[in-house]
Amino acid sequence: MLYFKVRDHIGQQSLDSGYGRQWTPRFARRGAGNAADGDAPNSVRDQTMCQDPRFMTFQSAYLNEIANFDLQNALTRDPRATADMVPDSVWANLAPYPEIVELREQRAQLKRSKYRIEGHEDEEEIRQLTNIIRTKRAYREKQVAKECREDYF
């Protein structure tokens, strides 16, 4: 698997599991090292956190499997946090974004109450407006979710 895929999946899963910030692959290693810190000898802690210089890849380079410490709980945050941190009341009371409303009206005017736009004389412009609306809605929803996460954590 490519690094960017791993990074993106770990980041999304960390947000879904109730963390305030996205994780990177380094977070788990750092969390395991912090859990072992103080309870384990320095050599075990260093081997838990750092890559073994004898290996060129990460596989079998870490000694998590032989460390007798509760390392996985070092990575838990708030079990009450949910993937969808935005309450329904916030979505219900959210005022419509004027720019999106304007773009929707412009698109509706071009469509002239027709559902299908394939072969329509303004098809390209309608599709561009649809993509812009989708992008702006997604950005706005992401910002609202980010603000709610910041309030929670």
**Residue 22 φ/ψ, nearest 5 degrees:** -70, 140
**Residue 121 φ/ψ, nearest 5 degrees:** -65, -25
Query: What are 135's two structure tokens?
Result: 């992008």
- The DSSP letter of residue 59 is T
- Region for 18 from its dihedrals, namely left if φ exceeds 0, alpha if ψ lies in -120 to 50, beta otherwise: left
What is the C-alpha to C-alpha distance for residues 17 and 77, in angstroms, rounded to an integer? Answer: 8
**Residue 67 φ/ψ, nearest 5 degrees:** -80, 125
What ranges do the domains of the chain cover? 3-75, 88-152
pLDDT of residue 104: 93
52-79 pLDDT, tens digit per residue, is 555 544 444 444 455 555 555 555 566 6
SS3 content of the chain, % helix, strand, coil (to 5): 60, 0, 40
pLDDT of residue 16: 80
What is the C-alpha to C-alpha distance for residues 13 and 131, in angstroms, rounded to an integer? Answer: 26
pLDDT of residue 6: 83
**Positions in the chain whose pLDDT score sits under 50:** 56-64
Distance of CA 111 to the CA centre of its chain: 35
Q: Under a CB-based contact definition with an 8 Å cutoff, are residues 71 and 64 in contact? A: yes
pLDDT of residue 15: 82
